[in-house]
Chains A and B, each alone.
Chain A
């Protein structure tokens, strides 16, 4: 026989003003198994908690029901109170008579009746509460950072500076990401490479960072503190030990293809270093375009390499490494403009994307930093910048605001004026959004000091006439039609999640939103965590953001990682799923519904009479299980139960309300 004690809280007037506490206590005393009931004005206060502890000891109470606020508020507080009185903390049950009752029922009678009903269900469940013990999990003191753009670099540096080993994995041949492609940064106009490359060098030289470039994470198993990742280091075709980075190989390579780093504005060779400040500054052979790999002959680079470092036979290397925590910083792509024929992109060489314009402005870019028209190599006198190309477009683009375009377009207008004196920047916009420190002031400089004219309205059409481009649109502020003759058009194309983001999410067991940006655990209060413990987010892969925000988020993710790795062990959550193997039919429906990949099949052997049988059952990995209960619902024979929320307990609650 369980001895249940009921403790009803007034919460000042929050509960007591609506609910008749006396009646609740009187009703509780008549409920099955209840041996004691009392009240307190503030049950969570020191005095309130002391009264609970005293009553437990005096009345020999074995199960505790506290009727108070939501368990989200004080479940932990009261679990500790119960434990201090010598009971298992999971013997506690909370009846939420504040958020679910007094706050929503202004009329006292209804509130009181409902409070009694809520207490009755809690009593019914508490009588069936079993002792639960959290497991203890070990932690591997090593972190994995996926993606080495500015966010991944910052996260890796912060974790490494705190004294933990970090593996930084980058799929491109060099670290640096998108920031390396940019020319200047708003709102200070300092050169992007100048502030990024010192960090890249820090990464390369840091004792606690192991860099894996030209590598991909192929598989991640395990759970918080105990992840196992499979990393494929793609073969560069270069012996990294021997290569001195002299560059003779790529000077003589006969193959020329569009450079990804230059956004297609310049060519690179089939053996190449993506950009001069690349880390590591050693080449890679692009096997899809290399003449030796496609046609079986050439080997010019091998013949010319003075160090004998070119080795076509080098194979991919596959590593399996254990980690305690993972930071995802996989970055972003830009929208494919196929659906936007009206802007003439791809049809006219002088219609560029903003990323192409960045390369055009950059001193190491295809024109050496001179802004010249791709069509005839002349400097443009008038340049139209079109914002929101694909952003804020619910019909054929992305519904969201890309967040960085307003600011970099103002920057482009300023840079144009600085590089081509007398040139006129004209910006088409829907709204100018400048939320950030010194951002509005920066935009004001573009209009006030650099003569940028802003036209409020989207462009309807861009088409060539002679060697110039005609833009047709409207200025919705003055309601006047606009028809401009310009020399160049720059499109501020929407940023998007990486094309493979959904796949990466599935591999890691983290979710994405409708646009394939990774979901944070809470939009305000847990912005760097994911719903999978031990996996954190940094940078654009979580949603559009600028460099300062990406860096801040990366440092925040690093603190979360360090906080985790600092612990000696983790306390597991005891309310996890549990399979009764004797009842499990082995249908494995539970493995299909589990969002955390926490249930696997297992073979068991058992004796039936004289026979020995082998059959399949489900097995729960308690480290991965988050206790959502989806498997219990899906289980047809009822073999799967969530500890602390078993079918028996839930049905007892239902009976207490209905019977």
Chain B
């Protein structure tokens, strides 16, 4: 994905900063987060790359990355970041953005097998529909 004026001026950075409470713009790409991340080998984007793509507003690249879901929230990055950023919160912010995307990750009752329906707590399913099916 290409960096353009639109991506740089998009709301992505503002949005993820609001959800995570972390100043993603202040990342200086030192790479220490990726250097200490225990889940690194299972990631397609390294943690510092996620931060960089966020600064440039490259939303699609982040959204399709496995990294958001591989992150174990172990806080190693947060403990070591010299800009005092907590990347696990940023990852969570992106997961929230992904889950709340209109049309994406919606849950249809028809996709659920009868076994799943039988075992699942009904309250959870209904609240999930409410939250993610808009």
Contacts and interface: CB of A to CB of B under 8 A. Distances in A.
A19 B11 CA distance: 76
A451 interface: yes
Nearest to B58: A480
A484 B52 contact: no
A485 B5 contact: yes
Given A455-B3, A483-B3, A486-B5, A478 B23 contact: no
Nearest to A447: B25
Contact of A477 (B8, B26, B52): B52
Interface in A347-375: none
Nearest to A486: B5
B25 A448 contact: yes
A475 B56 contact: yes
Contacts of A456: 29
Interface residues on B, range: 10 to 19
B126 interface: no
Nearest to B29: A477
A485 B4 CA distance: 7
Interface string A561-583: 00000000000000000000000
Given A447-B26, A477-B29, A453 B55 contact: yes
B49 interface: yes
Contacts of B25: 447-448, 451, 453
Contacts of B55: 453
A444 interface: yes
A231 to B, nearest CB: 51
Contact of B2 (A382, A444, A453, A483): A483
Given A455-B3, A482-B2, A483-B3, A424 B8 contact: yes
A426 B8 contact: yes
A478 B52 contact: yes
Given A447-B25, A448-B26, A484 B53 contact: no
B112 interface: no
B70 interface: no
Contacts of B9: 382, 424
B1 interface: yes
Contacts of B52: 475, 477-478
Contacts of A485: 4-5
B26 A444 contact: yes
A439 to B, nearest CB: 14
A462 to B, nearest CB: 14
Interface in B31-57: 49, 52-53, 55-56
A486 B8 CA distance: 11
Nearest to B53: A478
A40 to B, nearest CB: 55
Interface in A424-470: 424, 426, 444, 447-448, 451, 453, 455-456
A142 B110 CA distance: 97
Contacts of B56: 453, 455, 475, 478, 480
A291 to B, nearest CB: 48
B49 A484 contact: no
A426 B23 CA distance: 18
Nearest to A484: B5
Contacts of A341: none
Interface string A475-502: 1011011111110000000000000000
B118 to A, nearest CB: 46
Nearest to B48: A477
A477 B29 CA distance: 8
A478 B55 CA distance: 10
Contacts of B29: 456, 477
A484 to B, nearest CB: 5
A453 B26 CA distance: 10
A455 B4 CA distance: 11
Which interface residue of B3, B4, B29, B49 has the most chain A CB atoms within 10 A? B3
Interface string B1-33: 111110011000000000000010110010000
A475 B26 contact: no
Interface string A188-229: 000000000000000000000000000000000000000000
A461 to B, nearest CB: 15
Contact of B3 (A382, A447, A484): A484
Contacts of B4: 482-485
Contact of A481 (B2, B5, B26, B53): B2
A486 B26 CA distance: 23
A311 to B, nearest CB: 57
A410 to B, nearest CB: 13
Nearest to A475: B3
Interface of A: 382, 424, 426, 444, 447-448, 451, 453, 455-456, 475, 477-478, 480-486
Interface of B: 1-5, 8-9, 23, 25-26, 29, 49, 52-53, 55-56, 58
Given A456-B29, A480-B58, A481-B2, 10 more contacts: A424-B5, A451-B25, A453-B8, A453-B25, A475-B3, A475-B56, A478-B53, A480-B1, A480-B2, A480-B53
Pairs A-B, 5 closest by C-beta atoms: A482-B3, A478-B52, A448-B26, A485-B5, A484-B5
9 contacts: A426-B5, A451-B25, A455-B56, A475-B52, A480-B1, A480-B53, A481-B2, A482-B3, A483-B4
